Structure 1
Amino acid sequence: MARKTKDDHLIEVLHVAEMYYFEQMTQSAIADRLSLSRWTVGRMLESARDSGLVHITIDHPLARHHRLEVELTRRFGLSRAIVVPAQGRLEATVDVIASAAADSISLLRPAPSVIGVSWGRTLAQVVRHLHPGWTRDVTVVQTNGGVAITRNDLVGRSVVMMAELGRGRAITLQAPTVLGSAQLCTMLRADTTVARTLEMASHADLLVYSPGPADNGSVLVGAGHISPGDMSRLRASGAKADVMSHFVDSSGHPVDPDLDARTLSMDLEAVRRSPRVIAVAAGLEKAEAMGAALSGGLCTEVVTDSEVAEAVLSNRTTTGQQE
């Protein structure tokens, strides 16, 4: 019997690959047709992929970048990372990330009974992608005070809408997130309702927020809580991100103790102690903020796009106008 040449083997591998991928035959059916063992067919298909004879491409906007997910998880000690491709337009990227985050939250098992949520434009988009009945009997707690002025009514209502869609209840903080004085902030924290809300947020099964950039695009600047001059001063002090209204440096620590004392929000140490914290960020403008949240240990999971992930991993971070 003539011995098989290298070309003969390649042709046989090609034939097996065509039957498997084009004709959609099972490995068992291919083995029966060619009088081979199923193990041999499996090895041939593996060889076809390893040699580059077969390329598998998932062509979908939500197709994930597993290499970046693995690198983020390893470098920052995350329990999970979801990285999807950046789209052609920022609006499209935000939409894809919001959809991925909504799916991730909806599919959590066991389903969280208490979720702490920091409002914002990105989180408003996440809520928009949640389906009615995505869970039931959920309690959604606001992690930081609100703003009087927003560019999108959904921003202010996102906590309530998340609870309504989850057939549950919302517990909000009916106070500004930045107060006029530390004394006033301390008095509000002593209020029974406010104290109970922040305590519940601190012990939530899940926290969800979007790290905001420390620049004039911040919703806190738009709402008048922080002036452009204040923002310049915060930047000069090393501010890299807004995490639940706390302006933090690259290590996740507040850069302005006086401002932080006037900020009505759950404590950052409580965020670090939380069992599950998902940080959601879309667009390269969020890379610096996401990097600070990761380096500061302020999340256990991330949902982001490939450009943000690449920038964080290579320390190429920028600021922008998206929150």
Structure 2
Amino acid sequence: MAPSRQEPDTDTSAGRFPADLLYRAARMYYLEDANQAQVAAALGTSRPTVSRLLSEARARGIVHIEVREPEPLVTADLAERLAARLGLSRAWVTPPVGASGTGSVLAPAVGEALAAAGLRAGDALLVSSGATVHGVAQHALTPLPGVLVAPVVGGSDEPEEYYQTNEITRQVAARVGGSPQFLYAPAMPGPELSTLLRGDATIRRVTDLWASASAAVIGIGAPPSSRTSLPSVLPGGSAGLASAVGDVCSRPFTEDGTPLDFPGSDRLLAMELEDLRRVPHAIGVAVGAIKTSGILAAVRARYVTELVTDAPTATALLARTGAQA
């Protein structure tokens, strides 16, 4: 007759197995991928006893099991809450940008936002400058054949690629299969050139689209005083911009959304913030805790009607609005 299997000693007064036995069973099963039969053989016990060991290990806190909601469900819930809290027509929330690169993470969501806008051939899609929009423009978006893609600000003389608006326009048009409409002008021309440009037919072809556009992808900048990279037209160290919480279309604004004037702003060849309020799908694109004040101001002023951001920024926005409620 085969020798009978001897069950491990238990603390019958407490009705529990010894802690070291619980640990051994749990380690083999959860960390070493042993099945219950293998654990039973190693410990010289039965499979039903192993099941009780594992159950007791969980009950006594030796094993902690975490069930995580799938990331798409988490971000979808954040997006719904964010849109409701801020009064947006819709929001898209991505996983954290982190080291993955802003453009590669945000571009799919921007593509979804553009697809949802229902643009048709001949409709105008406006794009702003800035590092975030520039990054998005490097990646696939969504097919929008025949759509007219135009910049919201001049910038033909900008030294940094983030503010080369015609190049960003060309890249976005290539991503969506649209037709680029270039603005061959600096963002802030001199007084005489400013008058000439505003009356030029090739310039008017673009600026007229600002009044009739169906959608816009608008980067929301951080407070000018906090940035190391600015379009050349914005005087970063200007005392007049100390109260600016952000900018769109190279136009800075305060916490309540009021546009701020600065030297030469009367000559700025850029879409007026008031005109953004008439765009049916003004899609703000921004990430980072430092941008939360600018995002909130842009949303409250109705400069953007939709928002693409990442989970940490969405969480920060919800926390701030919750604290203010």
CA offsets 1:75-115 (integer angstroms, 9 cap, x no match): 332110111232443x5355312332134324543547320
Gaps of 5+ in 1: 1-53, 317-323
**Residue correspondence of structure 1 range 256-271 to structure 2 within 5 A:** 256=261, 258-271=263-276
CA offsets 1:246-289 (integer angstroms, 9 cap, x no match): 11112222121654312111121110011111001122232222
Cα distance in 2 for partners of 1:275, 1:145 equals: 22
> 1:167 corresponds to which letter in structure 2?
G
Equivalent residue number for residue 176 of structure 1: 186
- For the Cα contact (< 8 Å) 1:93–1:305, is it kept in 2? no
Q: How many residues align?
A: 255
- For the Cα contact (< 8 Å) 2:284–2:308, is it kept in 1? yes
Match 2:149 to one of 140, 147, 156? 140
In structure 2, relative to structure 1, the CA distance for the partners of 1:228 and 1:166 (3 Å cut) is: closer
Equivalent residue number for residue 208 of structure 2: 199
Cα distance in 2 for partners of 1:87, 1:137 equals: 31
In structure 2, relative to structure 1, the CA distance for the partners of 1:169 and 1:218 (3 Å cut) is: farther
Equivalent residue number for residue 28 of structure 1: none
In structure 2, relative to structure 1, the CA distance for the partners of 1:154 and 1:207 (3 Å cut) is: same
Equivalent residue number for residue 281 of structure 2: 276
Identity, in percent, stands at 29
Question: Could you state the TM-score of these two structures normalised by the residue count of structure 2?
Answer: 0.68
- For the Cα contact (< 8 Å) 1:97–1:281, is it kept in 2? no
**Residue correspondence of structure 1 range 107-126 to structure 2 within 5 A:** 108-111=117-120, 113-126=123-136
Residue 225 in 1 paired to residue 229 in 2? no
Equivalent residue number for residue 306 of structure 2: 301
Cα distance in 2 for partners of 1:115, 1:279 equals: 13
Equivalent residue number for residue 105 of structure 1: 114
- For the Cα contact (< 8 Å) 2:128–2:165, is it kept in 1? no
Q: RMSD of the alignment, in Å?
A: 3.0
Cα distance in 1 for partners of 2:200, 2:229 equals: 24
- For the Cα contact (< 8 Å) 2:241–2:262, is it kept in 1? no
> Which one is further off, 165-174 or 197-206?
165-174
> Which one is further off, 78-87 or 256-265?
256-265
> 2:126 corresponds to which letter in structure 1?
G
Question: Could you state the TM-score of these two structures normalised by the residue count of structure 1?
Answer: 0.69
CA offsets 1:131-158 (integer angstroms, 9 cap, x no match): 5x72211210111111421146986512
Cα distance in 2 for partners of 1:110, 1:168 equals: 11
> 1:269 corresponds to which letter in structure 2?
E
Equivalent residue number for residue 189 of structure 1: 198
Cα distance in 2 for partners of 1:189, 1:155 equals: 18
CA offsets 1:271-319 (integer angstroms, 9 cap, x no match): 0011111001122232222122112111110000122223233338xxx
Equivalent residue number for residue 293 of structure 2: 288
Cα distance in 1 for partners of 2:127, 2:264 equals: 21
> 1:226 corresponds to which letter in structure 2?
L
Equivalent residue number for residue 223 of structure 2: 214
Match 1:84 to one of 86, 94, 99? 94
In structure 2, relative to structure 1, the CA distance for the partners of 1:120 and 1:257 (3 Å cut) is: closer
Give the C-alpha shift of residue 70 in structure 1.
2.8
> Post-superposition, which runs of at least 4 consecutive aligned residues in structure 1 deviate over 6 A?
none
Equivalent residue number for residue 157 of structure 1: 167
CA offsets 1:166-207 (integer angstroms, 9 cap, x no match): 3332112111213344x6534422323223311112211111
Cα distance in 2 for partners of 1:85, 1:298 equals: 25
Give the C-alpha shift of residue 64 in structure 1.
4.8
Equivalent residue number for residue 234 of structure 1: 241
